[in-house]
Amino acid sequence: MRLSRFFMPILKENPKEAEIVSHRLMLRTGMIRQQSQGIYSWLPLGKRVLDKVNAIIREEQNRAGAIELSMPTLQSAELWQESGRYEDYGKEMLRIRDRQDRPMLYGPTNEEMITDIFRSSVKSYKSLPLNLYHIQLKFRDEIRPRFGTMRSREFLMKDAYSFDLTQADAIHSYNKMFVAYLRTFDRLGLRAIPMRADTGPIGGNHSHEFIILADTGESEVFCHKSFVDFDIPAVDTDFDSVEGLQAIFDKWTSVYAATSEMHDAAAFDSIGEGERLSARGIEVGHIFYFGTKYSEPMGAKVQGPDGKEHLVHMGSYGIGPTRLVPAIIEASHDENGIIWPASVAPFDAVVINMKAGDQACDSTCERLYAALQNAGKDVLYDDTDDRAGTKFATADLIGVPVQVIAGPRAVAAGEVELKDRKTGARETLTIEAAINKLTA
Ligand code: ATP
Ligand code: MG
């Protein structure tokens, strides 16, 4: 992408309305724009990051055996009347009437709809286990939307729903998502801690929130420090091994971790002074096992091996991609701007032409830009005629992991400079060597 042709409306000043660093940086870099309270457009730079986050979520869901579909944002109130939640949900639900005066709603979640899809076609235990997910917009009329897309009214959620014949099978499905979540957050460059959680209006009795520690987090959390050293389950984890997944779950839930709603002060105080952590955190994911809470009122049954009808045991599993993007920034930035983990960076590298219009600089940059693109890299080429200082500041601000700097003196010697955004380390290489290094 040539910066001169890109759409990246950078703000010169810090926006006044932003209270936390991620919100400030997302506005300054032109990643998002508020359209009305708690409702955002994702501009091209932000969209690139969001897409990369979604791709990682998708890969790990698929690896764990979940299957993607897509359900609509608008739902008929009827299904929610069946489950009893149409009345219970309260003011967070946006209720709409269509031209025939039928009650509709903008989905805040999809348990009812997925249960309806399930009951309409699955009749036998032989089709189980089944886990279906989508990545779709939700609407919740939050009383206090704030911090940009961290807590918005319209937001993206990956929501998965599992169906099993028995409670024991459902716990295995739960463990699959537990492990998929550990892997997902790790690949996003985050250390998320699973904490026992309250089940809220969704109901049920087996639930964990995945929390990232950050001073600006809205949740108060208490945990043992040892989480920092726990190993993330490997890519070749066998998701069909009931014992194997249970062992990972047991390990990750063996030490104390709870949000304020579930906090047990006595248990926490029994941890040694230097071993405990009381901090603030951001909830980035939430998983529930809720048994037959929806299958019962909505009549979702399958025939078991005994020939009898059984209500299915369900769970639901949410991750918030539009909250994860600011959460990653909260965890990874410095005074100059964002520092993207390579896995979600909007570009792999930025080529900075320090003297656009200078023939040697231009041709070197064109060569670098073409070579990196041909190697399948996402490259931003700053071909604008801004001053070099402005270009460096922009590159630091938007947090692309590697900067390839082409200035007249280096170029005359057949060289360019590489700068690592995170460490600030610089090295001078021949153009050839730079291309080899970046495409290795
Ligand atoms: P919170 O306590 O933060 O309101 P929740 O418990 O209501 O979250 P869930 O219903 O468990 O959230 O939703 C699953 C995930 O969706 C959350 O872990 C979070 O990542 C995301 N999410 C929920 N509400 C919002 C929101 N208003 N804006 C952005 N992301 C959200
Ligand atoms: Mg909420």
What digits encode the pLDDT tens for the residues 10-57?
999 999 989 999 999 999 999 999 999 999 999 999 999 999 999 999
Q: What are the backbone angles phi and psi of residue 130, rounded to the nearest 5°?
A: -135, 135
Ligand nearest to the CA of 317: 1
Cα gap 220→370, rounded to integer Å: 49
337 lines ligand 1 (CB under 6 A): no
Distance (angstroms) between ligand 1 centre and the Cα of 357 equals 49
The secondary structure of the chain, three-state, reads CEHHHCCCCCCCCCCCCCCCHHHHHHHHCCCEEEEECCEEEECHHHHHHHHHHHHHHHHHHHHCCCEECCCCCEEEHHHHHHHCHHHHCHHHCEEEECCCCCEEEECCCCHHHHHHHHHHHCCEHHHCCEEEEEEEEEECCCCCCECHHHECCEEEEEEEEEEECCHHHHHHHHHHHHHHHHHHHHHCCCCEEEEECCCHHHCCCEEEEEEEECCCCCEEEEEEHHHHHCCCCCCCCCCCCHHHHHHHHHHHCCCCEEEHHHCCHHHHHCCCHHHEEEEEEEEEEEEEEEECCCHHHHCCEEECCCCCEEECEEEEEEECHHHHHHHHHHHCEECCEECCCHHHCCCCEEEEECCCCCHHHHHHHHHHHHHHHHCCCCEEEECCCCCHHHHHHHHHHHCCCEEEEECHHHHHCCEEEEEECCCCCEEEEEHHHHHHHHHC
Q: Please answer whether residues 32 and 42 qualify as being in contact, where contact means their C-beta atoms are separated by less than 8 angstroms.
A: yes
So where are the chain's domains? Answer: 7-71+110-338, 349-439
Of 142, 154, 157, the residue with max ligand 1 atoms within 8 A of its CB, to mutate for a pocket test, comes to 157
Closest residue CA from atom 27 of ligand 1: 151
First to last CA, the chain: 21
Ligand nearest to the CA of 145: 1
Q: Mind listing the pLDDT tens digit for each residue in 382-403? A: 999 999 999 999 999 999 999 9
Q: Which atom of ligand 1 is found nearest the CA of 320? A: 20
Name the residue among 125, 132, 148, 160 with its Cα closest to residue 302: 125
Question: Bridge partners of 417?
Answer: 405, 428
| Coil, helix or strand at residue 185 | helix
Q: Please answer whether residues 67 and 131 qualify as being in contact, where contact means their C-beta atoms are separated by less than 8 angstroms.
A: yes
| Coil, helix or strand at residue 389 | helix
What stretch of H or E contains 334?
Answer: strand 333-334
Q: Please answer whether residues 377 and 388 qualify as being in contact, where contact means their C-beta atoms are separated by less than 8 angstroms.
A: no
In this prediction, residue 203 carries a pLDDT of 54
Q: In the numeric block, which tokens belong to residue 209? A: 């929130």
Distance (angstroms) between ligand 1 centre and the Cα of 409 equals 52
HSE at residue 377, side-chain half, CA atoms within 13 A, is 25
Cα gap 159→316, rounded to integer Å: 7
Distance (angstroms) between ligand 1 centre and the Cα of 254 equals 25
152 lines ligand 1 (CB under 6 A): yes
In this prediction, residue 228 carries a pLDDT of 81
Angle between helices 321-331 and 44-63 (to 10 degrees): 110
321 lines ligand 1 (CB under 6 A): no
Q: Which atom of ligand 1 is found nearest the CA of 157? A: 16
Report the 10 Å Cβ neighbour count for 412: 11
Check if 7-71+110-338 and 349-439 are the same fold. no
Ligand nearest to the CA of 287: 1
Question: Bridge partners of 258?
Answer: 196, 222
Beta strand 301-303 with 309-311 is antiparallel
Of 93, 144, 323, the residue with max ligand 1 atoms within 8 A of its CB, to mutate for a pocket test, comes to 323
Closest residue CA from atom 29 of ligand 1: 151
In this prediction, residue 231 carries a pLDDT of 94
157 lines ligand 1 (CB under 6 A): yes
Classify the phi-psi angles of 143: left when phi > 0, otherwise alpha if psi is within -120 to 50, otherwise beta. alpha
Question: Is pTM, for the whole model, over 0.85?
Answer: yes
Ligand nearest to the CA of 285: 1
Q: Which residues of the chain have pLDDT under 70?
A: 199-205
Closest residue CA from atom 31 of ligand 1: 320
What stretch of H or E contains 330?
Answer: helix 321-331
The fourth-level CATH superfamily of domain 7-71+110-338 is Bira Bifunctional Protein; Domain 2 (3.30.930.10)
For domain 349-439, the CATH architecture is 3-Layer(aba) Sandwich (3.40)
Q: What are the backbone angles phi and psi of residue 89, rounded to the nearest 5°?
A: -65, -30
Distance (angstroms) between ligand 1 centre and the Cα of 130 equals 24
Q: Please answer whether residues 403 and 387 qualify as being in contact, where contact means their C-beta atoms are separated by less than 8 angstroms.
A: no
Cα gap 300→266, rounded to integer Å: 42
Cα gap 277→132, rounded to integer Å: 36
Q: Please answer whether residues 181 and 319 qualify as being in contact, where contact means their C-beta atoms are separated by less than 8 angstroms.
A: yes
Q: What is the DSSP letter of 146?
A: B
